A and B are shown apart, each in its own frame.
Chain A
């Protein structure tokens, strides 16, 4: 049997390892449009923040693929699939026969319909090349405008601020991090951004971007301002790289739909990671969850099933965590009030500035924690209840039982360190 995996990210790597857990013998080829070995896309802002070196971004060594018995085709884009002949068409004209195929091609940054985004001063932060380019743009005193306020946008803003840039964030919606935080949490983070001299403009549309001959940029906003900048980062979301096998797609809906087995409608062709529209832990319609943990989970199931293990995926659970401006920001599942029948909210529990847990019939549906890292630990403890829809009748008692007080008290007593302070 010949298994072909297209992609070299979280889903692809997870699938490869999972497949080898079931099948040591079959031939495997891994195809990636980027030069390998794999690096971690989600860590690119850490590189810009100088938290990681360029080498630190690589999560596999070249010999890891050989160790896992996979031939690699790096730097070669896959152009299409002939499902009838079971052939993968490569950009260099080669055709790769397969018995089973995994599409783990990930996603790409969305380009909103704003005139001027093709200018030289406009960047994305998606690939290693992007990050290396931005690294040279991040000069102390330079001005940066970030379009969007998701994780990538704000982490880029934080990195820029730490490196002494002047930063403005423009968000179309009324709050920052609209898909990760509720308005209250977003407010806390906004205040921290303000305190760190990051200009945040919510409810604002970027109308156009002009790049002059000297490479300087001006961003015109719906408020009528023209913001001069040395660079613009567009970080308004991502769309799946789902064009490899159009036969799999539903009309006018992005993302390759997959069954619980991660198999597409084409027999023997699987998909995993950002490219898929998959089952979710809470049931209901399939969704795109372009998140690292989801990609790892889906890759595991897909990898096992490529080997015929007959695994079924329990569905993805939205799970976000990061640090921004020295605040740990974590969210889990569904944290919007109207999805539940009860909301538990707590402010300033030790170092945890804000915590919110939405429940329905005693079952936690989702949660947000901001502040000390212990918030993420608490959410981790909640995760099995959310995923398996287990009731937690006495939530305050559960939280009290999580004897974090020693840690939290210690943390809150410690001098609060902020990125702005570190600039002084």
Chain B
């Protein structure tokens, strides 16, 4: 399956992805409605996008007492059936990454569903930090990031010698 691969080394915390997701969820640009969130830590100049990884062994899916969470056969996304969700919030507590949110208006939990296979967060990611890729490509992408970091470190260390 394909997932939204996240590269904090490229993210600038512009929040385009949050607004694009919030818009899809709610028609508005309130960050609180977004399923992807980008934490920015000024001290470290760190930008960390977080979104559902659609875990192979998804604890939220297993633990839902309403059997409202399932895997989409087409996209492989772990999805919440809003018509079944009772709003008990067990999934909020179950997700170790904080990637499930509660929609107070509708009273149900909500999470990334990969937009049915064309994730809006990726379409709005102008830095390229988000990529919708085959899960098998992840290792290559990580290697690319590590290689680039090493190269840059080398160039930097030349700079400061």
B37 contacts the other chain (CB 8 A): yes
> Residue of A at shortest CB range from B103?
A373
Choose one: A323, A332, A414; the contact of B88 (CB below 8 Å).
A323
For the complex formed, measure the closest distance between the CB of B21 and the CB atoms of chain A, giving whole angstroms.
Answer: 13
Q: Which residues of chain A from 28 to 68 have a CB within 8 Å of any chain B CB?
A: 40, 42-43, 46, 51-52, 56, 59-60
Choose one: A14, A52, A376, A402; the contact of B62 (CB below 8 Å).
A14
For the complex formed, measure the closest distance between the CB of B40 and the CB atoms of chain A, giving whole angstroms.
Answer: 7
B94 and A56 contacting across the interface, CB-CB below 8 Å: no
A114 contacts the other chain (CB 8 A): no
Known: A383-B96, A403-B39. A293 touches B63 (CB 8 A): yes
B90 and A377 contacting across the interface, CB-CB below 8 Å: no
B92 and A292 contacting across the interface, CB-CB below 8 Å: no
Q: Mark B31-74, 1 if CB is under 8 A from A, else 0.
A: 11000011111000000000000000000001101110000000
Please report the C-alpha to C-alpha distance between residue A377 and residue B41 in the assembled complex, in whole angstroms. Answer: 20
Q: Which of A330, A380, A414 has the most CB of B within 10 A?
A: A380
> Between A and B, how many residue pairs show CB distances below 8 Å?
106
B98 contacts the other chain (CB 8 A): yes
For the complex formed, measure the closest distance between the CB of B111 and the CB atoms of chain A, giving whole angstroms.
Answer: 11
A186 contacts the other chain (CB 8 A): no
B98 and A380 contacting across the interface, CB-CB below 8 Å: yes
Q: Mark A206-222, 1 if CB is under 8 A from B, else 0.
A: 00000000000000000
Q: Which residues of chain A from 222 to 236 have a CB within 8 Å of any chain B CB?
A: none
B123 contacts the other chain (CB 8 A): no
For the complex formed, measure the closest distance between the CB of A376 and the CB atoms of chain B, giving whole angstroms.
Answer: 4
Known: A380-B98, A403-B39, A411-B32. A56 touches B92 (CB 8 A): no
Please report the C-alpha to C-alpha distance between residue A224 and residue B87 in the assembled complex, in whole angstroms. Answer: 39
Please report the C-alpha to C-alpha distance between residue A311 and residue B86 in the assembled complex, in whole angstroms. Answer: 32
Q: How large is the interface on B (under 10, 10 to 19, 20 to 34, 35 or more residues)?
A: 20 to 34
Q: Which residues of chain B from 66 to 101 have a CB within 8 Å of any chain A CB?
A: 66-67, 84, 86-90, 92-98, 100-101
B153 contacts the other chain (CB 8 A): no
B67 and A292 contacting across the interface, CB-CB below 8 Å: no
Choose one: A10, A384, A401; the contact of B96 (CB below 8 Å).
A384
Chain B residue numbers with a CB within 8 Å of A383 are 93-94, 96
Choose one: B31, B40, B62, B89; the contact of A373 (CB below 8 Å).
B89
B37 and A59 contacting across the interface, CB-CB below 8 Å: no
Known: A56-B86, A296-B63. A377 touches B92 (CB 8 A): yes
Please report the C-alpha to C-alpha distance between residue A401 and residue B104 in the assembled complex, in whole angstroms. Answer: 23
For the complex formed, measure the closest distance between the CB of B46 and the CB atoms of chain A, giving whole angstroms.
Answer: 9
B102 contacts the other chain (CB 8 A): yes
Chain A residue numbers with a CB within 8 Å of B37 are 403, 406
B30 contacts the other chain (CB 8 A): yes
For the complex formed, measure the closest distance between the CB of A247 and the CB atoms of chain B, giving whole angstroms.
Answer: 31
B65 and A42 contacting across the interface, CB-CB below 8 Å: yes
B92 and A380 contacting across the interface, CB-CB below 8 Å: yes
A379 and B66 contacting across the interface, CB-CB below 8 Å: no
A292 and B63 contacting across the interface, CB-CB below 8 Å: yes
Interface residues of chain B, those whose CB is within 8 Å of chain A, are 30-32, 37-41, 62-63, 65-67, 84, 86-90, 92-98, 100-102, 104, 107
> Can you list 22 A-B contacts with CB-CB less than 8 angstroms, sorted by A residue number?
A14-B62, A40-B65, A40-B66, A52-B66, A52-B86, A292-B63, A293-B94, A319-B93, A321-B88, A321-B89, A321-B90, A322-B88, A328-B89, A332-B93, A376-B93, A380-B92, A380-B100, A381-B98, A403-B40, A406-B37, A407-B31, A414-B104
Interface residues of chain A, those whose CB is within 8 Å of chain B, are 10, 14, 40, 42-43, 46, 51-52, 56, 59-60, 292-293, 296, 300, 319, 321-323, 328, 330, 332, 373-374, 376-381, 383-384, 401-403, 406-407, 410-411, 414, 417
The 7 lowest CB-CB distance pairs between A and B, nearest first, are: A373-B102, A59-B67, A376-B92, A410-B32, A407-B32, A403-B39, A406-B31
Name 7 extra pairs, CB < 8 A, besides A373-B102, A406-B37: A59-B67, A60-B67, A321-B89, A373-B104, A377-B101, A406-B31, A410-B30
